A and B are shown apart, each in its own frame.
Chain A
Amino acid sequence: MKKEKKMKLSLPEEELMNSGHLACQGCGATLAMRYVLKALGQKVALCIPACCWSVIDGPFPYSSLDVPIFHCAFETAAVSASGVKAGLEMVGDTETTVVAWAGDGGTFDIGIQALSGVAERNDDIIYVCYDNEAYMNTGIQRSSATPYGAWTTTTPVKHFKDRPKKDMEAIMAAHRIPYIATASIGYPEDLFRKTKKAKEIKGTRFLHIYAPCPTGWKSRPEDTIKLARMVVQNATFPLYEIEWGEKYTLNIKLKEKKPIADYLKIQGRFRHLTEKEIASMQEEVDKKWQRLLSLVNSK
């Protein structure tokens, strides 16, 4: 008899995230959680501040995750995790990986003070920011992670976001923490490897995961993965690592850098942009890309 051939999987089959969660169709944030938990395993404690994920998980008394969760205040994800870590160690658990899991608003804006404190002390936690580039839980308001040009309900088309996205990696690098990585749900293996790597490091580790949001971006749910790949291929969100704030490694090299226009065109939040505006945004992406390359090549 012919032996059944088993497909080789690049990620473990075991799931710590179950069906029954409350996310929208095509939500990138759910995939981020799913992949990260695959890499971290079950010995994890999550601190989740107010964000889509505080709803996605499921209503009381249910949870779609097989790991414990502390739902914490919006501005406190990082330091809540520090507290959980310290507490666990004092009661004899030195193994559990403590993860702060926050959105871009909870990271770039209201939570940055606590995050900076944690990073400066090099507290032993993994901080994950899943980035959907706005406050989605409250209905699509701008955050400082919202890119230039985007529509949100607080950056109406007449007055769209006129400032660039905050460079969170540079801010975190300035704290000289052991590990920083950008990742995208469009590159699960890369995300998986980085999460594994982060798990083995002690100190503050920062993972910034690009996670499209069809509801907030006015994109099609079936384009979520596509967008999460395009954004890397056009260098809007390059995938790289920074060790100790100094050593930059580029993970996805680009033989041919794609133009951003195709990426912008399939998202309703950029629909109002003129050719001229897109051209100047392209220039900014190019400049930022060159800056990153010079950092990567500086060692």
Chain B
Amino acid sequence: MKKVIMGNHALSYGAMLGRAQVISAYPITPQTQVVELLSEMCADKTLDAKFIKVESEHSAMAACLGASLAGARTFTATSSQGLTLMHELLHWASGGRLPVVMGNINRAMAPGWSIWSDQNDSLSQRDTGWIQFYCCSNQEVLDTVIQAFKVSEKLLIPSMVVLDAFSLSHTYEVVDVPEQEKVDAYLPPFKPQIKITPDEPHAFGGLTSPEHYFELRYKLQKDMEKAPALIEETGKEYEKMFGRYLGLVDEYCCDDADIILITSGTVGSTARVAAEELRQEGIRAGNLRIKAFRPFPFETVRNIVKGAEKIAVVDRNISYGHHGMFYEEVKSALYGHNDSLPVFGFIAGLGGRDITPSTFKEITNYALKKKKPEEEIIWIGVKR
């Protein structure tokens, strides 16, 4: 059924169709509508789930961990300050191999209170062992939540479905809401092999000596390495059933592109508009939108950019003292494979400053003019 819904409600519908059994969440702008709709769904029994209305995000994630360990499918959603307050428990989720699925609305970090979009909240959770998907449309948000349950439960690794504040979270788009029976056929119930039950008593997460700890982390990484193939496989399966492919990346006119603009999140669609216009001006531009940030699709990225002459990575985030975070990843993907390809790192749009098609044109013109990057970071639109 086609519905016009906001990005936040796409998360709620994803959780509903995925038959989340325990939801625990705490309100924060710009995530609140996710929680409000889910609490309504639980109240009127559209969704047969327990909703724990906790007193902080730290507790929200902790409740999800408990529920997941008990064998229930769990969902939460947060943003920014809330996500970073969860930080300790994000490690707990992946270390405990608990397949929680969470929506995160990208919002800039305080201080300087901001409710507008940038990616430093989720990207600073990079090393917590979560799978991270960056979405570009409300349809993709809904679909990805369903896929994320499947991937997470197979690998026992939690997933974060990320969307931009306002430009997605509060923007209404036409979304095809799949039928419940079809989603049920795609996503079987969560049946963990081991869980917390007196029938088979296990102690989870106790003192682990250097004798064993290392191997647990090795296994986490090994399973994470399985994720790219599994994401593609479950994405194809999704396409077969619902007509929409869900992959690691999404490319636009990259085949013959001289310059590829690499982006993540909703600015991908802006980059496409720019690429289209640039092509009319005779500049062969393309856009590679990276959807899976963890695991990072090294091979896929390498293959797509093979024929390009230049790469411009646009980051709406920064690792202070270093670079934009997607820029880092793209460079490391190319290292030893395609060392001569010039990769330019741009930072734009922090704290919700607009990124427009002309931003991308400025970026493209800059990169086309230079042989190779002369600065570690090329700042776009900053007032100095």
Contacts and interface: CB of A to CB of B under 8 A. Distances in A.
A71 B110 CA distance: 9
Contact of B113 (A50, A154, A156): A50
A156 B39 contact: yes
Contacts of B81: 50, 73-74
Nearest to B43: A159
B55 interface: yes
A71 B28 contact: no
Interface in B79-131: 81, 85, 110-113
A25 B29 CA distance: 22
Given A153-B36, A158-B44, A139 B29 contact: yes
Contacts of B40: 156, 158
B27 interface: yes
Interface in A30-67: 50, 54-55, 60
- Residue of A71, A137, A141, A142 with highest tally of chain B CB at under 10 A: A141
Nearest to B84: A73
B50 interface: no
A110 to B, nearest CB: 4
A75 interface: yes
B35 interface: yes
Interface in B1-35: 26-29, 32, 35
A40 B113 CA distance: 27
A75 B57 CA distance: 10
Interface in A86-133: 108-110, 112
A142 B43 contact: no
Contact of B27 (A71, A73, A139, A156): A139
B59 to A, nearest CB: 9
Given A73-B81, A112-B55, A141-B35, A154 B112 contact: no
B269 interface: no
A65 B273 CA distance: 45
A192 interface: no
Nearest to A159: B43
B110 A73 contact: yes
A135 interface: yes
Nearest to B39: A154
A144 B55 contact: yes
Given A71-B111, A154-B39, A158-B43, A142 B53 contact: yes
A141 B43 contact: no
A71 B27 CA distance: 19
Contact of A154 (B28, B36, B56, B85): B36
B43 A156 contact: yes
Given A73-B110, A109-B56, A110-B55, A138 B39 contact: no
Nearest to A113: B56
A135 to B, nearest CB: 6
A75 B113 contact: no
A103 B112 CA distance: 19
A192 to B, nearest CB: 30
Contacts of A155: 39
B28 A138 contact: yes
Nearest to A70: B111
Contacts of A144: 55
A135 B53 CA distance: 13
Contact of A138 (B27, B56, B85): B27
B36 A75 contact: no
The 5 A-B residue pairs whose C-beta atoms are closest, nearest first, are A109-B55, A159-B43, A110-B56, A141-B27, A138-B27
Given A112-B55, A159-B39, A159-B42, 13 more contacts: A71-B110, A71-B113, A73-B110, A74-B81, A138-B27, A138-B29, A139-B36, A144-B55, A153-B32, A154-B35, A156-B43, A158-B40, A159-B43
Interface of A: 50, 54-55, 60, 71, 73-75, 108-110, 112, 135, 137-139, 141-142, 144, 153-156, 158-159
